[in-house]
């Protein structure tokens, strides 16, 4: 009986140590950034929920626009590539520098806005009024055909709370870079 209890105790100890080692391996600033970026690549539910909230706020989108944009962004997220370049830890604060590569929608959006200014008549309705839906169609068609990529370097900031590294909120600019819509 003592031998069985000893074996159970040893096995339980290994399990506890194994769980703590696993937690330690995922509880690093770099690993937290990798988990965050992988959520985009794997179309994590939270990422898709955020995308749906952004799309819902586009008041000029039709149902078809929303669907087209959502499908395009999902495909873009899956193509996101990243490489961790550096990690700096200072007490309970850390910065992880990553280089990301995304489809460059930002450049396209900028050029579409210039095109609108120079060819406004192409986006008029039958009454000669500007039709924003025609312009949205134009932009989405251009975005869908775009395969050009761009690289950005992002510094992710993390804070250690209760012995867990947590990613700080991203700036609007960094969010736009990850989504590929940053207009530089």
Domain layout of the chain by residue ranges? 29-105+146-179
Does the 29-105+146-179 domain belong in CATH 3.10.450? yes
Task: Specify the length of the chain in residues.
Answer: 184
When pLDDT is averaged across residues 60-88 and rounded to a whole number, the result is 96
pLDDT for 126 equals: 94
pLDDT for 12 equals: 45
pLDDT at 116 over 90: yes
Backbone angles phi, psi at 27, to 5 degrees: -100, 55
- Name which residue leads in pLDDT, 173 or 4: 173
Confidence of residue 26 (pLDDT cuts 50, 70, 90): confident
pLDDT for 139 equals: 96
- Name which residue leads in pLDDT, 19 or 161: 161
- State the CB neighbour count (10 A cutoff) for residue 177: 21
pLDDT for 5 equals: 43
Say if pTM beats, i.e. exceeds, 0.75: yes
pLDDT at 54 over 60: yes
| Spatial strand order in the sheet of 81-90 | 81-90, 93-103, 149-161, 164-167
Per-residue CA distances from 163 to 28, 73, 93, 118, 173 (Å): 10, 35, 12, 56, 29
Beta strands in the chain (DSSP E): 81-90, 93-103, 149-161, 164-167
pLDDT for 184 equals: 84
pLDDT for 145 equals: 87
When pLDDT is averaged across residues 19-43 and rounded to a whole number, the result is 84
Share of the chain above pLDDT 70, in %: 86
* Spatial CB neighbours of 137, under 8 Å, sequence gap ≥ 6: 65
């Amino acid at each position: 009986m003592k031998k069985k209890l000893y074996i159970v105790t040893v096995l339980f100890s290994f399990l506890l140590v194994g769980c703590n080692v696993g937690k330690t391996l995922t509880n690093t600033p770099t690993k937290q950034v990798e988990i965050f970026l992988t959520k985009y690549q794997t179309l994590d539910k939270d990422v898709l929920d955020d995308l749906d909230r952004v799309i819902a706020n586009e008041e000029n989108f039709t149902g078809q626009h929303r669907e087209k944009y959502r499908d395009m962004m999902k495909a873009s997220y899956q193509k996101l590539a990243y490489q961790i370049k550096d990690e700096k830890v200072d007490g309970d604060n850390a910065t992880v520098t990553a280089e990301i590569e995304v489809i460059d929608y930002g450049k396209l959006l900028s050029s579409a806005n210039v095109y609108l200014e120079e060819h406004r008549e192409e986006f008029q309705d039958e009454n000669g009024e500007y039709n924003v839906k025609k312009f949205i169609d134009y932009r989405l068609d251009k975005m869908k055909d775009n395969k050009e990529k761009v690289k950005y370097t992002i510094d992710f900031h993390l804070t250690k709370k209760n012995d867990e590294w947590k990613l700080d909120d991203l700036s609007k600019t960094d969010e736009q870079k990850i989504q590929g819509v940053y207009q530089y």
